């Protein structure tokens, strides 16, 4: 599986690929599997909307 670290908030060394990205991905996968061996993570996102109308 290819990981996507091409975000503006990613560290430049991670974005550039190569050995730094490989080590980052390996360490991240190891840490996440220690945290939750099932490999499934839920994310709860809260969204709000303000709807206005003109009189």
Q: What pLDDT does 53 receive? A: 92
Q: How many domains does the chain have?
A: 1
CA angle 37, 23, 43 (to 5 degrees): 40
Domain of 9? Answer: 1-55
- Record the pTM: 0.50
Average pLDDT over residues 12-33: 79
CB < 8 Å & 24+ apart, contacts of 20-28 = 28/3
For residue 42, pLDDT beyond 60? yes
Q: What pLDDT does 11 receive? A: 59
Q: What pLDDT does 47 receive? A: 95
Q: How far is CA 6 from the centre of its chain?
A: 10
Q: What pLDDT does 1 receive? A: 47
Average pLDDT, rounded, for the chain = 79
């Amino acid at each position: 599986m290819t990981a996507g670290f091409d975000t503006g908030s990613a560290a430049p060394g991670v974005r550039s690929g190569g050995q730094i990205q490989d080590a980052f991905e390996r360490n991240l996968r190891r840490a996440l599997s220690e945290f939750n061996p099932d490999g499934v993570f839920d994310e709860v996102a809260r969204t709000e909307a303000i709807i206005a109308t003109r009189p």
